[in-house]
Structure 1
Amino acid sequence: MSYLEYQVKYVPSGLKKLLYVSWPLVLLVAAVSSMGFIMLASIAGGQIDTWAQPQIERFGLGFVLMMLVAMTPIWFWRSMSGVAYLVSIGLLVLVELIGEVGMGAQRWIDIGPLRLQPSEVAKITLVLALAAYYDWLPARRVSNPIWLIPPLLLIFAPVVLVLAQPNLGTAVLILGTGGAVMWCAGVHWAYFATVFGAVGGAVFAVFESRGTPWQLLHDYQYRRIDTFIDPSQDPLGAGYNITQAKIALGSGGFTGKGFMQGTQTRLNFLPEKHTDFILNTLAEEFGFLGSFTLLVLYGLILLFLFHAAMQCRDRFSSLLITGIGVSFFLLFAVNMLMVMGLAPVVGVPLPLVSYGGSQLLVLLIAFGLVQSAHVHRPR
C-alpha cells in the first residue's frame, strides 16, 4: 500500500478532504493575486499601506472563506441555491433604497466594516440557481419554450436591477454568464441564433438610422460611439482615458520599464490605474512578458476549472463549475478588450488583480464552490 493510499484510507474525513482539494488551482489563484499585490504596491510608489495591504488582508479572509466553502458538501450548496439567489436579489433592491453613491453610480451598500457590491454576488448566485434548476429539469424539457421562462426570469431580474444602478458592464457579464449556462445545459442553438440575429439587426438599425427622421439614438450618443471607434477625435475629452491607456500599454515594449518605473502611472496620466486599468500599468512596467505571464495564469485557471467540470458526474456540479469558469473568463476578457480599446470602457475590473474587496471575496468564494464540487464528487 502506497503512502497516498494509506492517507486516503486511514486519515480522518476532515483531513482526507484536504487531500482532494485541487491545490494547483489554489496556487494559481494565489499567484495571480500576488501579481495584483505587486502592482498595487508599485502604483502607490512602493507603499503597501495604500492599496496592497488592504488587498492582502481581504485575500486572507477570502482564502479562509474559500476553504470553508470547499469543505462543505456540494449538496448543501445545491439546497441553498434558491435562498442565495433571493438574498442577492434582495441586496440589489436594497442598493436602490439605501445604496452608497460613488462615481455617478449607486452600486454599494455598507454592511458593518464591509462595503459590498451586490451585483458581484448576483453573478455567482445566478449560476447556482440555474445549475440547480437544470439539474432538476428533465433533459427532454430543456428546450421546451414553457420551461425556458423560469431561467430567463432568473437572468433578467438581476440584469434589470443592475442596469438601474447604472452598471452596464456587470449587467452584460450577468447576461452572458446566464446564457452560457443555458447553452451548456442543452438549450437548442436556434434560440441563441435568434437572439444574436436580433442583436445584430438592432445594431445595424442604430447605425442606419443616423441622420434620418427616425434616428434611434441621440446625437451625443452617436458621438460617444465615434469616440470609441476613434479616440483621437477627442483626445483631451471623451477619448482621454483610452488614449492614455494605449500609450501605457504600448510603451512597455517586450520587457517593460521596470518596477515603479512606468511614466504614465507615476505621472498620473493613466486613469483608474489601481482598478480598471491596472493591466496597462503591468504592461508598462513589465512589458509583453508580464502581460503574457498573467494571461497564461488565467488560461491555466480556466483549464483546471473546465477539467474539474468534466470530472464531475452530477449535472449540478458540472454546470456550476462551467458557469463559474465562463463568468471568470468574461471578467478578464472584457477588461482586457476594454483597456486595449477593443471594447467600450464599461468599468469591469481585472479579476484577482484590481483593487477591490467585493469582487475578490466573491471570486474566492466561487472558487470554494468549485473545490466543494471537486472534493465531494464520487470517486
Structure 2
Amino acid sequence: MSIDRRVIKYLNWPLLGLTVALFVVGAVNLYSASAVRLEDGIALAPYFEKQLVWGLVGLAGMVVFMLFDYTRFHALAWPLFFLTLLLLAAVPVFGSTVYGAKRWLDLGPFSFQPSEVAKITILVVGARLLSRKPEKLGWGEFLFIVFVGMLPAALVVIQPDLGSSLNLLLLLAGIILYRGLKGRVLKVLAIIVPAVLPLGWFFLHDYQKRRILTFLDPTNDPLGAGYHIIQSQIAIGSGRLWGKGFLQGTQSQLRFLPEKHTDFAVAVFGEEWGFVGCLLLLSLFAMFLMSIFSTARDARDRFGSFLAAGVFFYFFWQILINMGMVLGLMPVVGIPLPFMSYGGSTTLVNFCLIGLVQNVSMRRHTFRHNRSLQFRGEAAYASKK
C-alpha cells in the first residue's frame, strides 16, 4: 500500500479542513449533549469520550482509504457484495438485541453494524455497474441495479432498520440519476413510483406507522410518539437568534430532549447557538457537499466519478432527512447527522468515505491519458448512434 508523492498536490484540502471542522463542532456539541448537571458541577456520559476514540479510529480509516488505490475496488466489488450479504444474514441469528432490534454483531470487545458496511458495498457495486457504459440507463440495466440494491436493503429492513435501508436505496438512486435514465424509463417511473409508494404503508411495522401519523400531527400523542418532535421543536425555537450559550440549553441539560446525542444532536446545537449558529452549520455542510461534488466532476475516470458522486448523495440525504426530521418536516426514521450524531460504526464509515473521495482526487493525474481515450470512445459511440 503505497502512494506516489506527486499525487499529494491533488489532495482536496478544503474537504479535509471541512471534515475536521465538522467533527470538532460535533464533538463540542456532543460534550454538551453528554453533560448532566449535578449539584457539585457537571458529569459527562461516556458518549463524548467514546466519540473521540472513534474519531481517531476514523482518521486512521480515512488514511487507509486514501492510500488504497480505489481502482482496485472495481475488482473487489462483487466479493465485497457477497460478504456483506453474509454479514447481514448473520445479524438475525447471531446479532445482539438493543432497543428491541438486532442490528449489531459482537466481535469480542467491540460490536459493529453490518448495515454500515453495506453502505460502502452499495456504493462500490453501484459505481462499478454504472461506469460500464457512457449512455443513459435503459430498462435492463436499471432493473438489474435496483435488484442488486434491494438485496442488502431487504436484509437491513428485517432487523428492523428502516433508516439505514432507506439510506442505501437513496444512495443508489442518487448515483443512478447522476448517470442518467433514458427518457422513456424516466417517464414511466414518474408515473409508477408515486402510484406504488402508498402500498409501502402495509409493509411497515406498527411503530413506523405511528411515526408517520405523528409527523402529520405530533399533538395527537404529545407524551408518546410525538414527544421527540415536540421537544426538538421547542429546543430549536427557544434558541432564537443567538442561542442560550454553550451548556446553557434547558431542554437538553434538564433532559427533556430525548436521543440528544444521536438523532436529535442538531436540536442541542440549535438551542445553544440559535439561528445564527445553525446558519453557520448549514454553510459548513453546504461547502462540504460542494467540495465532494467538485471531486466527482473533476475525476479522470468514470468509476472514480461515480464513487465520489455516491459519497455526495450518501451525505446529502442524511443531512436533508435528519435536519428535516428534527424540525418536524419529515417523519422520524432514525438517520443520524454526519459528524454530529454519536455513533462508532457511523463515524468510521463517514471518515472512510471521505478518504475514498480524497483517493479519487489524489489520483487524478494518473488518468489523463485514459480520460482522453475515454472521451474519444464516447464520441465514437455517440456518432454511431
Stretches of structure 2 that go unaligned for 5 or more consecutive residues are 36-41, 369-385
2-structure distance, mates of 1:182, 1:13:
31
Residue 295 of structure 1: aligned partner: 282
* Other structure's SS at 1:107 match: strand
Residue 311 of structure 1: aligned partner: 298
- 1:356 maps to 2:343: yes
- 1:56 maps to 2:46: no
Residue 251 of structure 1: aligned partner: 238
Offset at residue 28 of structure 1 (A): 0.5
**Is the contact between residue 40 and residue 48 of structure 1 (CA under 8 Å) also seen in structure 2?**
no
Residue 234 of structure 1: aligned partner: 221
Deviations 1:178-207 (A, max 9, x none): 112122223225434433433422466899
Residue 62 of structure 2: aligned partner: 66
Offset at residue 321 of structure 1 (A): 0.4
- 1:20 maps to 2:22: no
1-structure distance, mates of 2:100, 2:345:
18
1-structure distance, mates of 2:204, 2:323:
27
Paired letter, 1:27: G
2-structure distance, mates of 1:147, 1:334:
28
Offset at residue 248 of structure 1 (A): 0.5
Residue 100 of structure 1: aligned partner: 96
Deviates more, 1:198-207 or 1:79-88: 198-207
2-structure distance, mates of 1:222, 1:156:
21
Offset at residue 43 of structure 1 (A): 1.8
* Other structure's SS at 1:80 match: helix
Residue 382 of structure 2: aligned partner: none
1-structure distance, mates of 2:6, 2:44:
37
Length, aligned pairs only: 359
* Other structure's SS at 2:240 match: coil
Residue 377 of structure 2: aligned partner: none
**Is the contact between residue 241 and residue 276 of structure 2 (CA under 8 Å) also seen in structure 1?**
yes
* Other structure's SS at 2:106 match: strand
Residue 86 of structure 1: aligned partner: 82
Offset at residue 111 of structure 1 (A): 2.3
**Is the contact between residue 17 and residue 71 of structure 1 (CA under 8 Å) also seen in structure 2?**
no
Flag the 1:189–1:116 CA change in 2: closer, same or farther, 3 A.
farther
Q: How does 1:1-379 map to 2 (within 5 A)?
A: 14-45=4-35, 50-136=46-132, 138-140=133-135, 142-202=136-196, 225-378=212-365
2-structure distance, mates of 1:217, 1:116:
25
Deviates more, 1:16-25 or 1:172-181: 16-25
**Is the contact between residue 309 and residue 322 of structure 1 (CA under 8 Å) also seen in structure 2?**
yes
Paired letter, 2:9: L
Offset at residue 148 of structure 1 (A): 2.8
2-structure distance, mates of 1:340, 1:82:
39
* Other structure's SS at 1:126 match: helix
Flag the 1:224–1:117 CA change in 2: closer, same or farther, 3 A.
closer
Residue 6 of structure 1: aligned partner: none
2-structure distance, mates of 1:342, 1:51:
28
2-structure distance, mates of 1:150, 1:284:
46
Offset at residue 234 of structure 1 (A): 1.7
Deviations 1:126-184 (A, max 9, x none): 11111112223x335x5332333331221100111111111111111111111121222
